[in-house]
Amino acid sequence: MSSSLAPATAPRGKTQGSSPAGPREKKTFSVTRWRPWMLLTPALVILGVLLLWPLVKVALLSFQNYGIREIRKNSTNFIGLDNYVEALTDPQLWKVVVPNTVGFAVVAVFTTVAFGTLVALLLARLGLVWRMLVGSAIMVAWAMPAVTGTYVWTWIFDADRGIFNTALQGMGVIDGPVNWFTNRWAFYAIVLINVVHHGFPFVAITILAGLLGVPREMLEAAEIDGAGAWRRFWKIVFPTLRPVFSVVIILSTIWDFKVFTQVFLMPGGSGSNRSVLNLGVWSYVESFGQNRYGFGSALAVLLTLVLLAITVVYIRTLLKEDQL
């Protein structure tokens, strides 16, 4: 009798009121999984239209002999890899363009990072008020548009009215006006000053942020042990800020490798002086100056591939930092 009145027990592995996972839970899981991509879709579409399609168009043009005739006839003339073969076998690429592009990038990155590091060390030793004043002052150079800065440096080194020539003549160093833009080395020396002046504030502020995080106890202990400033920097500061220096160097390499404005706007940099061409300016001159859009697109693709390789290194560096 009592056994008949006992409550029925639930099957093993299940509790009362529970229901097996049905299609509704699977559907919710699927929506949750794809929700981030649904939210990113509008931005990805915009980026695809504004960035991806122009890249695809340039890549297609690089396989064509595309000029004024093709534009008028609205036709295509595919020639395969001829543009790339012409570019890679052109003596000007290896004697002028590559040395100007790579050599300038190496020197500019080293100079910018070195000068920016020295400024960061100076800012770290200043008080809060002076650090804010000096930091704000150097950020003006970073905020200045590249076009404006280039015209300022062009005026400074102008052969007739430039203050640099005027000062040298006043000191008796030179007898008359000198056009510094006709010489390849002097030209890129001016471009280097322009690029470093525009780029060092970013390096200085970034490294300063890292310097403020270095434990002062370690630096004070090293100083008590007799380590000088140079030794403290290489033994304590640099190893601690190695990830920061890696990011700064890679970003500076990307920016300095594709320098265009600072070269193109200088006298002779737009193509009249062929000895100062770099890869970006050469691509522009061939495309819009010579109306060889296919050949210019091939040069642009080569530059993009190099920058893509540098970007891959940059992303891998960031991923390694996240794992630390």
Mean pLDDT by 10 residues, the chain (324 residues): 47 48 52 81 84 87 87 84 92 92 94 94 87 86 88 92 90 87 94 94 91 82 80 84 88 90 92 91 90 91 88 78 59
The CATH number linked to 275 is 1.10.3720.10
Q: With H, G, I as helix, E, B as strand and everything else as coil, classify residue 78.
A: strand
The pLDDT of residue 29 is 53
The pLDDT of residue 13 is 47
Half-sphere exposure of 192 (CA within 13 A, CB side): 22
| 19 domain-assigned | no
| 26 domain-assigned | no
State how far the Cα of 95 lies from the Cα of 90, in Å rounded to an integer: 9
CB 181 within 8 A of CB 266: yes
Centre a 10 Å sphere on the Cβ of residue 181 and count the other Cβ atoms it contains.
20
Residues contacting residue 278 through CB under 8 Å, at least 6 positions apart: 97, 100, 101, 104, 259, 263
| 76 domain-assigned | no
The pLDDT of residue 115 is 95
The pLDDT of residue 84 is 93
Structural domain total, the chain: 1
| 292 domain-assigned | yes
Supply φ then ψ for residue 78, to 5 degrees: -70, 130
| 300 domain-assigned | yes
| 205 domain-assigned | yes
| 158 domain-assigned | yes
Rounded to the nearest 10 degrees, the angle between the axes of helix 128-143 and helix 104-125 is 160
| 66 domain-assigned | no
The residue range of the domain holding 315 is 82-323
Report which of 114, 120, 111 is spatially closest to residue 211, judged by C-alpha positions: 120
CB 232 within 8 A of CB 223: yes
